[in-house]
């Protein structure tokens, strides 16, 4: 009996050893056969040497295919119905929409509204008067509109007008965004106290509150997010205040332009920072790591999973990207996108729910600037609708294309300027003269 038992144990051990040998031989064979990257992309990052590009596919984008990336999208645009622009002569302008919210059975959006003579331009700010604006957003008020479908809008009129001088915003109240907090509504906005262009585009942020999205709004006159101390990145401007709720606090992302150097175009670098408060009226504490986003012209963010995502359009190394910060502070590029909405105000259903499972966005309102008869001048902006699939709840393959062609017209519009043509001519002439000399 004892001998039988020993034989049994021995044969079991031998069996296991042979199994292991077989397994490692199989792996060796597979490894030899699989020297090249497999035709079918492994779902998990394979345990083998990988190039930096393939590693990015797994680590940065989470997938090798953009169409599987929840933070990749195309943007589709639709003209809005319901807004009158006085024939597009530059005397009525609407721009910089807030995010869209759904209340009382309809969508609401707030925006910069200017009704005035055509602006003289920031460069001619000295010619601006009490009735003639410098910039497209000078001498503006905050208006709002409602809609049942997001395509046709009804302008409801002024929400926050310019207060009398010398209150913050007396010159212009612009570029607003909405917060809903404990049953009350708050509009944050840029409060100009001088014509934009006189020294730059200088302003702090002020706030108004109301018990209903239809108002009436009480302008607190407070500078809730003041400019930074002299010599710091946000000393002159706090632009595009964009509130969300996270961890029981109000998170306001904002943009500032700095490092102004005339030898570069654009002369300033634009980056985005964060200010946090427990109460909508402050005090707001700026994040010690500011700036947090190194690119982008306006702020557009939305809760996504446990973190926050940002649409980064125009300006900077990382323009044309969607970025993600799991901790709401450290942003990483999540995708590269094209034809991005300018100054987008998306419909963000979970902006104020303090969610740990942000669902993303599918549409919003943005603007087009320089829409007047003279497209070189920034004196008329129009609101537009954009649609996209940056949502965990939508799977629209039509929004996930990444091989779009835009046709010759759009490319030729980006033509060479006079100086560039001259430079090329001079280089050609030099070459021709040289070759003529050689021939002689």
Instruction: Report how far apart, in Å, the C-alpha atoms of 257 and of each of 125, 262, 290, 410 are.
Output: 19, 13, 13, 29
Instruction: Report how far apart, in Å, the C-alpha atoms of 7 and of each of 13, 14, 20 are.
Output: 10, 10, 20
Question: Any contact of residue 101 with ligand AAL (CB under 6 A)?
Answer: no
Q: Pick from 177, 240, 371, 387 the residue near ligand AAL by CB under 6 A.
A: 240
Interface positions, 410-439, toward ligand AAL (CB under 6 A) = none
Other CB atoms within 10 Å distance of the CB of residue 279: 12
Query: Among residues 201 and 371, whose Cβ is nearest to ligand AAL?
Result: 201
Query: Among residues 162 and 297, whose Cβ is nearest to ligand AAL?
Result: 297
Report CA torsion sign: 281, 245, 144, 171: positive
Question: Any contact of residue 286 with ligand AAL (CB under 6 A)?
Answer: no
Other CB atoms within 10 Å distance of the CB of residue 435: 9
Least distance from C-beta 297 to ligand AAL, angstroms? Answer: 6
**Site size toward ligand AAL, by CB under 6 A:** 11
Query: Among residues 323 and 381, whose Cβ is nearest to ligand AAL?
Result: 381
Question: Any contact of residue 177 with ligand AAL (CB under 6 A)?
Answer: no
Order the strands of the 269-277 sheet from edge to edge. 239-246, 249-258, 269-277, 285-286
Interface positions, 295-354, toward ligand AAL (CB under 6 A) = 297-298, 343
Query: Among residues 142 and 333, whose Cβ is nearest to ligand AAL?
Result: 142
Least distance from C-beta 298 to ligand AAL, angstroms? Answer: 5
Least distance from C-beta 240 to ligand AAL, angstroms? Answer: 5
Least distance from C-beta 175 to ligand AAL, angstroms? Answer: 4
User: What is d(CA 207, CA 70) in angstroms, rounded to the nearest whole number?
Assistant: 34
Question: Tokens 């699989």 belong to which residue?
Answer: 34
Question: Any contact of residue 141 with ligand AAL (CB under 6 A)?
Answer: no
The closest residue (CB) to ligand AAL is 175
> CA 83, 84, 90 angle in degrees (round to 5)?
120
* Lookup: tokens for 372: 């007047």
Question: Any contact of residue 137 with ligand AAL (CB under 6 A)?
Answer: yes
User: What is d(CA 336, CA 346) in angstroms, rounded to the nearest whole number?
Assistant: 19
- Give contact residues for ligand AAL (rule: CB under 6 A): 96, 137, 174-175, 190, 201, 239-240, 297-298, 343
């Amino acid at each position: 009996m004892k001998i039988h038992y020993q034989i049994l144990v021995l044969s079991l051990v031998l069996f296991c050893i042979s199994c292991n040998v077989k397994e490692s031989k199989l792996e060796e064979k597979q490894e030899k056969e699989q020297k090249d990257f497999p035709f079918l992309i492994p779902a998990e990052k394979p345990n083998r040497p990988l190039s930096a590009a393939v590693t990015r596919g797994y680590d940065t984008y989470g997938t090798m295919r953009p169409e599987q990336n929840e933070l990749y999208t195309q943007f589709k645009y639709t003209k809005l119905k319901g807004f009158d622009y006085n024939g597009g002569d530059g005397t009525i302008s609407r721009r910089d929409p807030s995010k869209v919210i759904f209340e009382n059975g309809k969508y609401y959006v707030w925006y910069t509204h200017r009704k005035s003579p055509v602006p003289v331009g920031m460069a001619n700010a000295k010619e601006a008067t009490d009735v003639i604006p410098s910039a497209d957003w000078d001498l503006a008020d905050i208006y709002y509109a409602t809609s049942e479908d997001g395509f046709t809008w009804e302008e409801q009129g002024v929400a926050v007008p310019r207060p009398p001088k010398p209150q913050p915003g007396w010159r212009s109240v612009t570029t607003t965004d909405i917060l809903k907090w404990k049953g009350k509504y708050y509009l944050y906005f840029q409060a100009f106290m001088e014509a934009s262009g006189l020294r730059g585009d200088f302003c702090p942020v002020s706030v108004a509150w109301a018990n209903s999205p239809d108002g009436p709004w009480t302008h607190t006159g407070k500078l809730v997010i003041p400019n930074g101390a002299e010599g710091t990145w946000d000393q002159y401007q706090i632009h595009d205040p964009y509130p969300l709720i996270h961890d029981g606090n109000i998170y306001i992302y904002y943009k500032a332009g700095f490092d102004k150097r005339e030898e570069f175009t654009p002369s300033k670098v634009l980056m985005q920072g964060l200010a946090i408060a427990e109460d909508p009226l402050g005090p707001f504490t700026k994040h010690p790591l500011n700036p947090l986003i190194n690119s982008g012209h306006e702020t557009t963010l939305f809760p996504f999973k446990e973190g926050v995502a940002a649409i980064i359009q125009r300006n900077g190394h990382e323009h044309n990207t969607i970025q993600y910060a799991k901790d709401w502070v450290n942003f990483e590029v999540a995708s590269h996108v094209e034809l991005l909405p300018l100054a987008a105000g998306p419909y963000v259903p979970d902006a104020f729910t303090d969610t740990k499972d942000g669902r993303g966005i599918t549409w919003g309102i943005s603007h087009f600037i320089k829409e007047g008869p003279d497209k070189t001048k920034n004196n008329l902006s129009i609101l537009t609708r954009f649609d996209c699939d940056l949502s965990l709840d939508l799977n629209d393959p039509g929004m996930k294309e990444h091989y779009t062609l835009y046709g010759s017209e759009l490319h030729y519009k980006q033509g060479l300027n006079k100086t560039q043509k001259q430079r090329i001519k001079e280089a050609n002439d030099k070459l021709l003269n040289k070759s003529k000399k050689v021939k002689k």
